[in-house]
Amino acid sequence: MRKALFVGGTASHVGKTWFTAAFCRVLRRRGVRVAPFKAQNMSNNAYPCIEGGEIGRAQAMQAEACGVPPMADMNPVLLKPNSATGSQVVVQGKVWGDVQAREYYGLSAQLFELAVESFERLAGQFEVVVCEGAGSVAEVNLLSRDITNLRLAERVGAAAILVADIERGGVFGSLVGTMELLPESQRRLVKAFAVNRFRGDVTLFDDGVTFLEKRLGIPCLGVFPWAEGVELDEEDSLGIPAGGSDEVAVVRLPRIANFTDFRTVGPVDWVERPGGKQYRVVFLPGTKNTVGDLAWMRAQGLDEWVREQWEGGALVVGICGGYQILGESVDGVAGLGMLPVKTVMQPWKVTRGVGARTVGGTDFEGYEIHMGETERAGDACFYLADGGAEGCRVGRVMGTYLHGAFDTAAVVREVLGLERVAADREGMYDAVADWLEANARRDVLESLLA
């Protein structure tokens, strides 16, 4: 019998991604063949799939927790915002096109069927599929067009849990209100709720649990404390960590992409306007709109700030779109002119994992997700496994298309001159699974996983 578990939330960023990864890891440790699934994701954090194409970075992380490679069907619809009202739409790993929000709603019926198709393929390969919802499950104005929340769970026969974040406040209203707004057919799918991010003595919330269980008519999976020291790849820019560094700054572009590039480099300061602090390293990160974010930098005075940082001794590093910004031009628009490269945007997208090495001979794994072809001069930043030059470096300015290059502590040490320790990713997945099992009511957890 096919088994699916759905993890929904009362709002965005309440911990759905964490719970999904935790369930995935718990099941894997029990010897179950398990895969993650999110029908629709809105994020500029992406990762290449084993068969080509791309999915959301969070689903790639969850796949890693399952011990399986990222697959396009794990996130069949990925929306990559490139303006205030528009997104690039990636369907089953491949670019579908750029659409405006209102236009996108007209595509929901077609995309829903494609999402179900992807789920069915996963369900044919794995014993359990753990599905993550998006935002709130009770967006009543979108229920008829929903392709990723309880309408999807209802279609595929998934049992559901509802996650709320007590740190935000209003946990009673968010849980009760969410359940009250659901149509009866979807309310019946919700088998338990979880209270997340509790600080302090969880027994102080016992009366709250009693009230909620009585009012909602379903059991509490548990009251889950903050998990100190556990860091998982975040889904979107809401998860950018607080800053705090005297060494490294990252320009926080409006349409920043793949900010997970800095997890080993961190902590970092996220810079949105010029300041007086001098850094050792300044990053220009990836972006979903290179020309638009270049214009934003100029409007903020950050183009001059980056140059002043370089003049003060900083190493300036551009990754992907940041690499393009550092060049002489991007589609005919003048760049910062700090690297002898020119970029012309193309209709196709490069999405691939690559093996590479530093100039000093340190091997590492990275990946490319970008549009545009860059004509380069100057020295190479890195070398690909086939010996080809990658990126560009001139003195204390360098640019690369390789995301993930600085996940390797030895690369951080050699290239940036910083002593860092890479996170133990397998240990993190075990830690979040331990967190789930330690704080869940055993009978409720087993009923969900049975």
pLDDT tens-place values along the chain, 450 residues long: 359 999 999 999 999 999 999 999 999 999 999 999 999 999 999 999 999 899 999 999 999 999 999 999 999 999 999 888 889 999 999 999 899 988 888 899 999 999 999 999 999 999 999 999 999 999 999 889 999 999 999 999 999 999 999 999 999 999 999 999 999 999 999 999 999 999 999 999 999 999 999 999 999 999 999 887 788 887 665 557 666 788 999 999 999 999 999 989 989 999 999 998 999 999 999 999 999 999 999 999 999 999 999 999 999 999 999 999 999 999 999 999 999 999 999 888 999 999 999 999 999 999 999 988 999 888 999 999 999 999 999 999 999 999 999 999 999 999 999 999 888 999 999 999 999 999 999 999 999 998
β-partners of residue 271 are: 251
What is the predicted pLDDT for the residue at 239? 58
Together in a domain, 7 and 116: yes
- Tell which residue, 177, 174, 142, 183, has the closest CA to residue 42: 142
Q: Does the annotation count 320 as an active-site position?
A: yes
β-partners of residue 286 are: 257
- Tell which residue, 131, 127, 216, has the closest CA to residue 444: 216
- Residue 11 covered by a domain: yes
Which domain, by its residues, includes 81? 3-231+428-449
Number of structural domains found in the chain:
2
- Give the Cβ contact number of residue 129 at 10 Å: 24
What is the predicted pLDDT for the residue at 84? 82
What is the predicted pLDDT for the residue at 234? 73
Together in a domain, 415 and 432: no
> What is the greatest pairwise CA distance in the chain?
68
Together in a domain, 142 and 13: yes
Together in a domain, 388 and 350: yes
| 404 φ/ψ sector (left φ>0, alpha ψ -120 to 50, else beta) | left
At 345, is the secondary structure helix, strand, or coil?
A: strand
What is the predicted pLDDT for the residue at 282? 98
At 368, is the secondary structure helix, strand, or coil?
A: strand
Together in a domain, 218 and 247: no
Together in a domain, 61 and 112: yes
Distance, in Å, from the CA atom of 296 to the CA atom of 254, rounded to the nearest integer, reads 8
Distance, in Å, from the CA atom of 100 to the CA atom of 81, rounded to the nearest integer, reads 10
Q: Does the annotation count 381 as an active-site position?
A: no
Say if residues 61 and 232 touch (Cβ distance below 8 Å). Answer: yes
Together in a domain, 185 and 307: no
The catalytically annotated residue of 49, 320, 381, 392 is 320
What is the predicted pLDDT for the residue at 347? 84
- Give the Cβ contact number of residue 304 at 10 Å: 13
What is the predicted pLDDT for the residue at 1? 39
* Size of the chain, expressed as the number of residues it contains: 450
What is the predicted pLDDT for the residue at 345? 92
Together in a domain, 186 and 282: no
CA distances from 199 to 103, 164, 165, 168 (A): 42, 14, 11, 12
- Give the Cβ contact number of residue 274 at 10 Å: 14
Together in a domain, 357 and 432: no
> Crossing angle of helices 57-66/16-29, nearest 10°?
20
Together in a domain, 250 and 367: yes
If you write DSSP's letter for every residue of 384-408 in order, what string do you get?
ETTS-EESEEETTEEEES-BTGGGS
- Tell which residue, 239, 401, 265, has the closest CA to residue 320: 401
- Tell which residue, 299, 300, 291, 285, has the closest CA to residue 253: 285
- Give the Cβ contact number of residue 209 at 10 Å: 18
- Residue 236 covered by a domain: no
Question: Euclidean distance between the first and final Cα of the chain, in Å?
Answer: 11
Together in a domain, 369 and 406: yes
The catalytically annotated residue of 131, 220, 392, 403 is 403
Say if residues 34 and 28 touch (Cβ distance below 8 Å). Answer: yes
Together in a domain, 155 and 253: no
